[in-house]
Structure 1
Amino acid sequence: MSSASSPVFGKKYSAFLFDMDGTLLSSIEAAERVWGRWAEGHGLDVATFLPTMHGKRGVDTIRQLGLPGVDPEAESAIICQGEIEDVEGVRPLPGAIEFLKSLPPERWAIVTSSPRELAKVRIAAAGLPEPRFIVIAEDVSRGKPSPECYLLGAERVGFDAKDCLVFEDVAAGVIAGESAGADVMVITATHTHPFETSHPKIPGYIGIEVSVDENGDLTLTDRR
């Protein structure tokens, strides 16, 4: 679906809910360095494994592998610490900082699968504005593709998810946004592992403008 035919542009939303990694910032090099070393150490095919670990909580990724003798909680904690210590190459996506600064701070949230400390480190490393509202891995009992995180994000900004627009970059997050009842915009800037979707796509935030009406509702316009 092209942006020109997308109902997302020109539609009023109460709030925007953003995934973090791959959606507002790029951390793919750092994440794949840390996860790649871990996967190699556990005898996994690194090239096959890496596309499967983006957009989900680390503990869920490890649990789904079903590796014998591996404690998902303990291993994900080790990986998280490695990611906290490695922020080389973490950077904002094109136009993301300016785009976030154009939004009323009470009308957007970050909804990430990252644990709290990792989210803080990456937001700072990328130079993104500090969100007033954030949902992190520890806040939910089920990670993406469960809709729990986006339902909680909508609750924190004070609106129904159906009145929000979710910005996502991977299939698990898109499914979570859909299941929460929200509209979805797919960000493709870091898509080294593309996936099929019927949702509108944009490469980043350059040329994407937001207008705010007297009620605080948000409307996207594509100026590219």
Structure 2
Amino acid sequence: MTLPTRSYAAFLFDMDGTILTSIASAERTWTKWAIAHGLDAATFVPTIHGVQSVETVRRLNLLGVDPVAEAAAITAAEMVDVDDIEPIAGAAAFLASLPPERWTIVTSAPRALAEVRLKAAGLPIPATMIAADDIPNGKPAPDCFLVAAERLGVAARDCLVFEDAAAGITAGEAAGADVLVITATHGAAHDLAARHVRIIDYRDVTVVTQPDGGLVLAPR
């Protein structure tokens, strides 16, 4: 296994597809929405991942559709469909091994939905979490990772971003952070993943905390 060899001040984790999988839940909701709006669900649904719901609706430019209201309705539907949400393999133990002040979650989901999904997956909710509500410009803009690093008191260039989707990878790159791609849900098919270190999940990786608090990844 090839892993980054440098020490990082903090780890910044995307949520959906990176530390938990809610893809089935999300795609069920978005499929119903797409069909109701006359869209080809098979073509449209793969485009929803990694960006804020309001931006997904907005870029469709549907006549007479209020993106904010539609996104709120979609979020409400997603919050009651959590039965098959589960952590990515090894994620719970990996997060538990990290110093709490050295990591956080950076998600395109609204905070209420993120908290519901994290609880459903049995994963912790860091006090420093960045959600869609906190950042006007969502991924692929770098703002979310820049603010997350600031909340942790470190520079984004000293962080390792854990991502799975193209929008998040682009955001991490733009923030100046290193990026590690988790391939458990989306695989490594998109071009952006090919230029970064990739691991399937967290079962075969551990972290070594340096005397200065820095974090170094190592094979388990």
Task: Name the TM-score class by shorter chain.
Answer: over 0.9
In 1, distance between residues paired with 2:18 and 2:83? 18
Q: Distance in 2 between matches of 1:173 and 1:153?
A: 13
- Normalising by structure 1, we get a TM-score of 0.95
Q: CA deviation at 1:193?
A: 8.4
Task: Label 1:193 to 1:81 Cα distance change in 2 as closer, same or farther (>3 A).
Answer: farther
Aligned pairs for 1:50-129 (under 5 A) are 50-129=45-124
1:118 to 1:164, Cα distance in 2 relative to 1, 3 A: same
TM-score by length of 2: 0.97
- Code of the residue aligned with 2:55 in structure 1: it is D
Report whether the alignment pairs 1:208 with 2:205: yes
Residues 1-224 of structure 1 correspond to what in structure 2 (within 5 A)?
3-4=1-2, 6=3, 8=4, 10-191=5-186, 194-196=189-191, 197=193, 198-223=195-220
Q: 1:164 Cα shift?
A: 0.1
For the residues of structure 2 that align with 1:98 and 1:215, how far apart are their CA atoms? 22
Counterpart AA for 1:173? G
Gaps of 5+ in 1: none
**Matches of 2:106 and 2:54 in 1, distance apart?**
17
Provide the rounded CA distance (Å) in 2 between the counterparts of 1:202 and 1:165. 14
Deviation at 1:189, TM superposition (A): 0.5
Count of aligned residue pairs for this structure pair: 218
Change in CA separation of 1:91 and 1:111 when aligned onto 2, cut-off 3 Å: same
Task: Percent identity, please.
Answer: 55
Q: CA deviation at 1:214?
A: 1.3
CA shift for structure 1 position 192: 6.2
Residue 161 of structure 1, CA deviation: 0.2
The one-character-per-residue Cα deviations of 1:61-88 (angstroms, maximum 9, x if unpaired) are 0001111111000000000000111102
Which residue identity lines up with residue 202 of structure 1 in the other structure? I
Runs of 4+ in structure 1 displaced over 6 angstroms?
none
Q: Note if contact 1:51-1:193 (Cα within 8 Å) is conserved in structure 2.
A: no
The amino acid of 1:120's aligned partner reads E
Matched to 2:142, the amino acid is: P
Which secondary structure state, in structure 1, belongs to the residue aligned with residue 59 of structure 2? helix
| Deviation of 1:191 (Å) | 1.2
Is the partner of 2:212 in helix, strand or coil?
coil
Per-residue deviation, 1:215? 1.2
Output the amino acid matched with 1:74: A
Q: Structure 1 pair 70/108, CA: closer, same or farther in 2 (3 Å)?
A: same
What is the CA–CA distance in structure 1 between the aligned matches of 2:135 and 2:127, rounded to whole Å? 18
How well do the aligned residues superpose, as a CA RMSD in angstroms?
1.1
Cα distance, 1:132 vs structure 2: 3.1
